[in-house]
Amino acid sequence: MSDVSSLTGAGAGYAAAPAGTGRRELGQQDFLTLMTAQLQNQDPFAPMENGEFLAQMAQFSTVAGLETVNETLGAISGQIGGNRIATASSLLGQRVLVPGSLARPDGDGVVQGVADLPQAASAVTVTYSDAETGAVLHRQQMGAQPAGLMGFEWRDAPPALVEARGAVRVAVQAEGAAPASPFVYARVVGVQLPETGQDLTLDVEDYGLRSSLEITSIR
């Protein structure tokens, strides 16, 4: 009758695993124990080649290195996620510059924006009207302006409009040229954090969802 050790391929150093221990990951000490047992029980007529031994060592080192890399990446990912949440929180209530003509005065009664003038103009007029009634609330004479971006600001919105957070329609007229395209500052009322990607999605009052990549100015 064959010896049990010859059937299993193990020598005297073989020991059965205790029952009920369950699965667990092998660590460095386990690996060294297995390597020692393998060297002690190798066939003396066909000993392990140095290359085989080094290959096993290299394989274990690679796996151990990958585990370290995974742990590091996990820590970095958690830090990035925390920074994104902090950034999202800081944007709530801020005003961002978006293309459009509908604006609301801030708590100080200020309406701000930028106009993109396609060409130089001898005179530029900015008109602020009630968005509901169409009544003109204020006109600004900006004088001669070069082509490009021109900032505008109205600081005296009626207190009743400010308190009601009423909407104002902004129109920019360049004398002798087509109407300029306005950009206005609008309030961020919500922020979405997508599961993938780095860009945030901002919920901008009166303008809906906008990618944070579209935002060029915050105040």
Domain boundaries, the chain: 26-40+50-91, 94-214
What is the reported pLDDT for 90?
79
Average pLDDT of the chain to the nearest whole number? 75
With 0.85 as the threshold, say if the pTM is over it. no
Alpha-carbon distance of 35 to 53, in angstroms, equals 8
What DSSP line would sit under 51-93, residue for residue? HHHHHHHHHHHHHHHHHHHHHHHHHHHHHHHHHHHHHHHHHTT
Which CATH topology does 94-214 take?
Answer: Immunoglobulin-like (2.60.40)
pLDDT of residue 64: 54
Instruction: Name the band, by pLDDT with cuts 50, 70 and 90, for residue 67.
Output: low
pLDDT of 7 higher than 50: no
What are the contacts of 207-213 at 24+ separation with CB within 8 A? 207/98, 207/100, 207/102, 210/96, 210/98, 212/91
Would you tell me the crossing angle of helices 50-91 and 28-40 to the nearest 10 degrees? 170
